[in-house]
Structure 1
Amino acid sequence: MTTNTQTLVTSRTKGTALVLAASAFFATSGPLAKPAMTAGLSPQQVVSVRIGLAALILLAGVAVVRPSLLRIKRGDWRVLLGFGLFGVAGAQTLYFAAVSRLPVGIAMLLEFMSPVLVALWVRFVRGTVLPAKAWAGTALALVGLAMVAQVWDGLRLDVVGVLAGIGSAMCAACYFLLGEHGLTTRHPLTMATYGMLVGAVLLMAIAPPWRLPGEILVADTPFGPVWTLLVTVAVVSTVIAYAVGMSALRHLPSNVVSVLSLAEPVVATTLAWAFLAEQLDVIQIIGGLTLLAGAFLVQRASQPSAGGQLHPTTEDLAAVAQRD
């Protein structure tokens, strides 16, 4: 194996590990946020606090540790605004809107149709021919997701809910595509920080966190006071998850990352079973294995050249930031 091939394989392996890690961090949001909502907070309030706190943490942390990463060019604003509005605020808000009108399983399936949208964009807009195995793996992963979500349970049609779910899928696709595009010139922490700031402004207008009832914030849950859950969701499920997810897009193309990210509902379901005593049946277990098999097929089908270093290294980006 040549040095170049070894580098490509190592980068693809690292990217896969980062995607799976990001999916695990994202998946903790459900088990952590559910007790807060049970205590009396609305989904909109939870997501507003989640994104708002994450934006403050990222901004303060980057300003102290790597202030050069906060310097951006005028031409970067379009991508950053789009990433924040669609990839952060839009995906979160529309998903919760879908959940409020549809069974959770169907809302989840609609949102996680995003890999299909990403694949279609890559194929017909970018003109990149994807291997047949990539399409087969994507379809297999979606079948597994339907089994995990059990979409047939309480099936009912609500036009507004379906449209919200489709909208959340489109916004999730923007997360992968705009994130990948932005990383051609910006550091993952730059993308995550500004995306979170833009998303926070919009979400705070919808559900101002300063209007949260104090008695609910200090209410006890099986995992501690509500406010500690919100802080944990902001740090673990948002700051770390988005930073790691952006880093993965430096090693793998968006269509591969979007399919591998389907591991999130599998992890979320497992965590809910382990910590919230939610039922996990045989069909869901088989669905989880099917989903992971499909994701593995897509990862293996990705071209070796696509698994290489897609974007500049950290050192290259640091040098660019210092010159800006």
Structure 2
Amino acid sequence: MQINRVMLTAIGSVLFAMVAIQSGASLAKQLFPLVGPEGTTALRLGFAAAVLWLVFRPWRAMPKGREWQSIIIYGLCLGGMNILFYLAIERIPLGIAVALEFTGPLAVALFGSKRKSDLFWVAFAIAGIVLLLPDVTSAQGLDITGVLLALAAGACWAGYILFGTRSGKQVSGGITVALGMTVAAIVLMPVGVVSQGLALISWEVLSMGLLVGILSSALPYSLEMIALRNMPTQAFSVLMSLEPAIGALAGFVLLSEQLTLLQWIAIALVIVASIGSSFTPKKAAEMGV
């Protein structure tokens, strides 16, 4: 009975983390008219770094020497993932951007596998991406720049996983996240300040930015760490595969973003590919961090 309760807590943590991330992304998109994606990124990273320092207190066990190299690259990937994703959802619907970005961790999982049968899941992923690619001849097609930005965010997510895993072996997970978020904030906050200036310091913007930072980073990262301690990594990966669907639902409910049937099918193909790849023993449990 105790095991079931622990497992249910872990599952609830993962699901709530995904809802928090996508709700935060929806709220962030509502900030774009006020401070743009650059300013929103600066607020998210700055507030998230501050909260994570309070939660994980990284000063107690700071990395030394060469350990900083992986953490700095990890932080740069984290920052790139954030700003590229926000630039993408400025142009394309949230659910589609999440599905395209998800190709990053999916690629890490599939390339880390040595099973030929995983080529089947690669085909599903490619089919989903192809269906999401914009029709440049149609006025109603997706914005090609938004699609490319979401794919670039996925590439940063892949680097985030690889270097986050390496950093996590040297320093505890919580400290790694806090320091990586700090690196990202140091690099990208000046971009937001230069881009948006005094618009960043209104009470409305600051309060929304704090909420975005908590929902999109501090809260879900903490919940995912709780889940990873209490459930098999394969189960964690399978649950995380639902994130594109949750992103699409968040976009529909919170932003009134309508998707076509073909786009829903494309998102479903990416989800199926991710779930299928999760059944291969590998280290890809970090994909949702």
Common topology (TM > 0.5): yes
CA drift of 1:230 comes to 1.5
Cross-structure match for 2:280: 302
Q: Does 1:82 align with 2:97?
A: no
CA drift of 1:156 comes to 5.9
CA drift of 1:104 comes to 5.2
- Aligned to 1:74, the other structure's residue is in SS state coil
Aligned match for 1:140, one of 124, 133, 138: 124
Distance 1:165 1:36 in 2: 19
Q: When the two structures are aligned, how many residues end up with a matched partner? A: 274
Residue 208 of structure 1 aligns with an amino acid whose one-letter code is: V
Aligned match for 1:114, one of 69, 80, 104: 104
- Aligned to 1:236, the other structure's residue is in SS state helix
| Closer, same or farther: CA 264–181 of 1 in aligned 2, 3 Å | same
Distance 2:252 2:228 in 1: 30
Cross-structure match for 1:315: none
Contact 2:37–2:86, Cα closer than 8 Å, also in 1 = yes
Q: Does 1:171 align with 2:166?
A: no
Which residues of 2 match residues 64-75 of structure 1 at below 5 A? 68=60, 70-75=61-66
Residue 184 of structure 2 aligns with an amino acid whose one-letter code is: G
Cross-structure match for 1:62: 56
Cross-structure match for 1:252: 233
CA drift of 1:237 comes to 0.9
| Closer, same or farther: CA 135–269 of 1 in aligned 2, 3 Å | same
Cross-structure match for 1:316: none
% identity of equivalent residues: 24
Cross-structure match for 2:181: 196
CA drift of 1:30 comes to 2.3
Contact 1:111–1:169, Cα closer than 8 Å, also in 2 = yes
Structure with greater proportional helix content = 2
Unaligned residue ranges in structure 1 (runs of 5+)? 1-6, 124-128, 219-224, 311-324
Contact 2:134–2:143, Cα closer than 8 Å, also in 1 = no
Cross-structure match for 2:21: 26
Comparing 201-210 with 91-100, greater Cα deviation is found at: 91-100
Cross-structure match for 2:82: 92
Q: Does 1:232 align with 2:211?
A: yes
Cross-structure match for 1:274: 253
Distance 1:261 1:151 in 2: 26
Contact 2:15–2:239, Cα closer than 8 Å, also in 1 = yes
| Closer, same or farther: CA 309–32 of 1 in aligned 2, 3 Å | closer
Q: Which has more radius of gyration? A: 1
Provide Cα deviations, 1:272-317, integer angstroms capped at 9, x if missing partner. 2122333244444444444433332222x323xx47999xxxxxxx
Quote the RMSD (CA, aligned, Å): 4.0
CA drift of 1:157 comes to 4.9
